[in-house]
A and B are shown apart, each in its own frame.
Chain A
Amino acid sequence: MFGTGLLKGLGVTLKHALETFEDDRESVPDRYKGSLDLGNNRKVIQQPIDQEGLLTIQYPEEKRLLPERFRYIPMLIWDSEKQEDRCTACGICAKVCPPQCIWIVRDSDENGKPVTRCSEFYIDAAVCMSCSFCVEFCPFDAIKMNHDYELAVYDRYPQLVYDMEELTVPLEYYAALWPTQYEEEQARRKEEEEQKRKQEEEKAARAAARQAAAAQKAEAGAGAPKRSAAELQALAKERAAQRQAQAQGQTAEGGGDDDAAAAKRARMEDLKRRAQERARQRKLESGNGSS
């Protein structure tokens, strides 16, 4: 019969409207369940997959909770445990980057010899295609994807060319954004370090043995014993143990050693503050640029 199709269609529309209406009349509508309230109408919403009715999120007051793997612009990791940049200026990320938007200048020591550290690290955020290849292929876990997507500015240059300072974030920031991956990575890094330590220990032991043998030879030659092989080996072990203790001490320090912890906290605060300042300035500059 003519018109049945239309009526059915209108029925579907009505059902949708009623669902939203019903949902909205509840004290907490479905789409706000489990969301994080930041006050002032600002919310971070995790939309349930079985959400019925209205699905709209009122950006910018309301935002989506981003999944851990969300990728936007890369960031460089400041390893707050070791108090150093993780990046070694190996340049792999710049090689694999499809639009070639990474630019690295390797640092050098006072003799002009290049060292494994970079003095400059730029990413052109206007060119970056958020592909995450740099992250995938960095062998040192030094570059990760940031979740900060509100980067709009009025001018492309220099606001959108991020330098090393703007890119660097403390490890804790990364750990908070990417908890699962961070855990896995830390476990893997620990294991690798453990292996490295073992290898070093063995090397030291071998070196000691060699030394001892040499010493023995020398002894045989000159007759002046310095240290026996056993003694040397014991010494090497002791040194290794010391190193390990030191390393552990460093990682365990956290709340223990006040000075170091305070310094670290200060450094982190400093990094954060600087990042905020830069962001403010960027906005300001770009505002000026347009006026």
Chain B
Amino acid sequence: MTEATAVMDAPAGELGLAPELADAVVDMWAEDTEKAYVIAPDRILEVLTHLRDGQGYDFLSNLTCVDYEGYGGKLRAGIDARLEVVYNLYSTRRGGGSIALHVRVPEDDTVPSATSVYPGANLQEREVYDLFGVKFDGHPNLRRILLWDGFHGHPMRKDWHEAYYEEDAKPFRSRHPKGEYEFHEDKVPWAKNTTYPAGWDPDSWQEAVAYVPVSQAPQHEDKPHLDTESIVVNLGPHHPSTHGVFRMLTRVEGETILALEPEMGYLHRNHEKIGERNTWLMNMPFTDRLDYLNSMSNNWAYALAVEKLADIEVPERAEYLRVIMAEFSRIVNHAWSIGFILNDLGALQTPALYAIEEREMILDLFEAVSGARMMCNYMRFGGVVRDLPEGWHEQAAYLANERLPRALDELDRLLTENEILMARGRGVGYLSVEDLISLSVSGPMIRAGGLPYDIRKAEPYGIYDRFDFDIPTLPNSDIYDRYYIRLLEARESVRILQQALRDIPEGEILGGRGGYTLRAPEGEVYGRLEAPKGELGFYLASDGKTQPWRYHVRSPSYINLNALGPMSVGYKVADAIVILGAIDIVLGEVDR
């Protein structure tokens, strides 16, 4: 940090920091790609507070960490702090791009927790602690989140190897080194990963249930007279209307929820570790498996980030195709989500099946163009992989112009004025939009609270600035509005589809340079888009090789769960199920 004094003044000025904070910025990072300010660890809270209050960066979108052990790039020559915590901040009022901050952490050191400034840092910091072992000072509930408490090591560290570890990077020399076909799991299971943390005894271990109320402090006062006792109830893993394997730890008094905490990780497969072994392109089909209802948007988000990093152009026709696929996918998602909110309310199956009739048609179209209904793997860096087959355009136009508007109207007629939906939905699960934002919640949830924040308008990507569409908002921030906003958004998607299908030009669909040998230039990038569930972002760091150095998914399903506890407290157990349903999560994306 010898030249630190030289760079000190300028970036602080750019950041618009007050003079007394100028010395908080100690360095800059990767000015060629996306620039980031390196902040001194002990000043980070002051800087965050200043950016939030003084400059309107009210939304902590992404918080993650990078392990630079063994990093081969030039940019970090002479820096020996091993880990780097990354923050991406946005302004939901102003829109526009992000500010990226880094904090360098030597191994086993601690960083002040951002939860006091942005409560939404909660789950993300727990994830960083779990996967990297960075401790956050002042975090209310710093426990492992995706892995179980007995797990040894922090798997996203570069020197951590999984049980059937082969090599650091694909392509592997051979999966079959002895020339014979064999499965790794047929070898001694656990052979390479049976270590426990020091002092850990698997036999005597018991999951600590006592921590349930810790983070949310139930209002359980000492009463002098007769008192009902609050008990801990596990909802799940599974049931909560089976959005996947997920558990809600609740403390209830009678039927009322005093505290609730999401427990997850049952589907955790260390997607990000796999992603760092894969070449850039290999990750594309893996993104399909995140939010498996919306593989098209996932593909796009990843392609968007890589294109930004490697500066790849996308031809006009491909841009239109991407919009068409993403909007179809949004309709699929919202129809699905509406159907299942109703399912969670007890309207078992009928609305859900009506809602997914048209989904069937759309998935058939996806299959015709990409070869698969759900795992589309359709986009590539610089475009899409195949052009439309014959007859596709007419079918899509029929859907967009006739069938979908009709179907949405019908759903509207079936549900919107339904007395049961109103009785169960109105005023349930309320959380003010300010709270939602500070909890890093994004997507339909905040629009149902009255804030017209949609990345398609706030920071347009692709060609969204060409379409005429509105961002619907509703004022009440309750279950009912969260249901209805999705219907309104699906209508807007239909509008976009109609325009895109009308205007799509002929031409190329795939620009060059994005093949399987891609080497992205050194640096980092955060690319994001408005996925149906909220802000889906990919944070990528490259050391100029054929694999990403860091591949992080900022998943809306996961981060929106920040609000689950605060939204459920005070309501009944039965409401918690639908409150979860209205967040609209997919466990493939939550657990990654």
A136 vs B175: C-alpha distance when bound (angstroms): 22
Tell me the bound Cα distance from A67 to B389 in angstroms: 10
Tell me the smallest distance from the CB of A157 to a CB of chain B, in Å: 6
Q: Using Cβ atoms and an 8 Å threshold, which residues of chain A touch B181?
A: 103, 122, 124, 157-158, 161
A69 near B371 with CB under 8 A, answer: yes
In-complex Cβ contact of B170 among A47, A100, A161 (8 A): A100
Q: Which of A2, A94, A95 has the most chain B CB atoms inside 10 A of its CB?
A: A95
What residue in chain A is nearest B166 (Cβ atoms)? A100
A130:B175 contact, CB within 8 angstroms:
no
Partner of A55, one of B281, B357, B417: B357
Per-position contact with A for B163-179: 1 when CB-CB < 8 Å, else 0?
00000001110111001
* Contact across chains for B371 and A133 when beta carbons are under 8 A apart: no
Contact B285 A9 (CB under 8 A): no
Structural contact, A67 and B419, CB atoms closer than 8 A: no
B415 located at the interface, meaning its Cβ lies under 8 Å from any Cβ of chain A in the complex: yes
Measured in the bound complex, the distance between the Cα atoms of B420 and A4 in whole Å is: 11
Known: A5-B419, A67-B368, A71-B372. A98 touches B286 (CB 8 A): yes
Would A103 and B176 be within 8 Å (CB), given that A69-B368, A98-B285, A132-B377 are in contact? Answer: yes
Interface contacts (Cβ under 8 Å), in number, total: 112
Which chain A positions have C-beta within 8 A of B403?
49-50
Given A49-B399, A55-B357, A69-B369: A5 in contact with B422 (beta carbons within 8 A): yes
In Å, the complex CA distance between A115 and B545 comes to: 32
A12 CB, min distance to chain B CBs, angstroms: 4
With a cutoff of 8 Å between Cβ atoms, the chain B residues found around residue A97 in the complex are 171
Q: From residue 341 to 398 of chain B, which have CB atoms closer than 8 A to chain A?
A: 350, 354, 357, 360-361, 364, 367-372, 375, 377, 385-386, 389-390, 395, 398
Query: Chain A's nearest CB lies how many Å from the CB of B103?
Result: 33
Contact between chains at A131 and B377 (CB < 8 Å): yes
B side interface size, CB within 8 A: 53
Question: With A67-B368, A96-B281, A131-B285 as given contacts, are A6 and B170 in contact (CB-CB < 8 Å)?
Answer: no
| Bound: A157/B181 CA distance, A | 10
Alpha-carbon distance between A57 and B99 when the two chains are bound, in angstroms:
52
In the assembled complex, the CB of A172 is this many whole angstroms from the nearest CB of chain B, namely 21
CA of A3 to CA of B370, assembled, Å: 45
Q: Does B410 sit within 8 A of A, measured CB to CB?
A: yes
Residue numbers in A under 8 Å from B176 (CB-CB) = 103
B187 CB within 8 Å of chain A: no
Q: Which residues of A contact B390 (CB under 8 A)?
A: 180
CA of A180 to CA of B386, assembled, Å:
13
* With contact pairs A50-B398, A145-B371 given, residues A96 and B422 touching in the complex (Cβ less than 8 Å): no
CB distance from A4 to the nearest CB of B (A): 7
Please, which residue of chain B has its CB at the minimum distance from the CB of A126? B183
B410 to chain A, nearest CB (A): 6
A89-106 CB contacts (< 8 Å) to partner B: 94-98, 100-101, 103, 105
Chain A, Cβ-Cβ closest to B350: A13
B371 touches A103 (CB 8 A): no
Contacts of B354 in A (CB 8 A): 12, 16
Contact B364 A47 (CB under 8 A): yes
Interface 0/1 of B405-426, CB less than 8 Å to A: 0000010011111111110000
Quick check: is B467 within 8 A (CB to CB) of the other chain?
no
Q: Provide the residues of chain A in CB contact with B421, threshold 8 Å.
A: 5
A137-B516 contact, Cβ under 8 Å, with A8-B414, A103-B175? yes
A68 located at the interface, meaning its Cβ lies under 8 Å from any Cβ of chain B in the complex = yes
Which residue in A16, A101, A130, A136 is a CB contact (below 8 Å) of B385? Answer: A136
Query: Quick check: is A140 within 8 A (CB to CB) of the other chain?
Result: no
- A133 engages B285 (CB within 8 Å): yes
The smallest C-beta distance from B421 to any residue of chain A, in angstroms, reads 8
| Contacting residues of chain A (205-263) with chain B, CB-CB under 8 angstroms | none
**A69 and B418: CB pair below 8 A?**
no
Nearest CB of B to A158, in Å: 8
Q: Is A3 touching B419 in the complex (CB atoms < 8 A)?
A: yes
Distance A6 CA – B347 CA, assembled complex (angstroms): 12
B282 at the A interface (CB under 8 A): yes
B370 touches A69 (CB 8 A): yes
Most buried by B among A8, A55, A67: A67
A130 to B284: give the CA distance in the assembly, Å: 12
The answer to whether the Cβ of B278 comes within 8 Å of any Cβ in the partner chain is yes
Q: How far is the CA of A8 from the CA of B395 in the complex (A)?
A: 30
Given contacts A6-B418, A12-B413, A157-B183, 6 further A-B contacts (CB under 8 A): A4-B417, A8-B418, A67-B368, A98-B286, A103-B174, A103-B181
- Contact residues of B with A, CB < 8 Å? 170-172, 174-176, 179, 181, 183, 186, 278-279, 281-286, 350, 354, 357, 360-361, 364, 367-372, 375, 377, 385-386, 389-390, 395, 398-399, 403, 410, 413-422, 515-516
- The 9 A-B residue pairs with the shortest CB-CB distance, nearest first, are A5-B417, A131-B285, A98-B282, A71-B371, A69-B371, A67-B368, A12-B414, A95-B171, A5-B418
Residues of A within 8 A of B (CB): 2-6, 8-9, 11-13, 16, 47, 49-50, 55, 66-71, 94-98, 100-101, 103, 105, 122, 124, 129-133, 136-137, 145, 156-158, 161, 180
Q: List 28 A-B contacts (CB under 8 A).
A: A4-B417, A5-B416, A5-B422, A8-B413, A8-B414, A8-B418, A9-B414, A9-B418, A16-B354, A50-B403, A55-B357, A69-B371, A69-B389, A71-B372, A94-B171, A95-B171, A96-B279, A96-B281, A98-B283, A100-B171, A100-B175, A130-B372, A130-B375, A131-B285, A133-B285, A133-B516, A137-B516, A145-B371
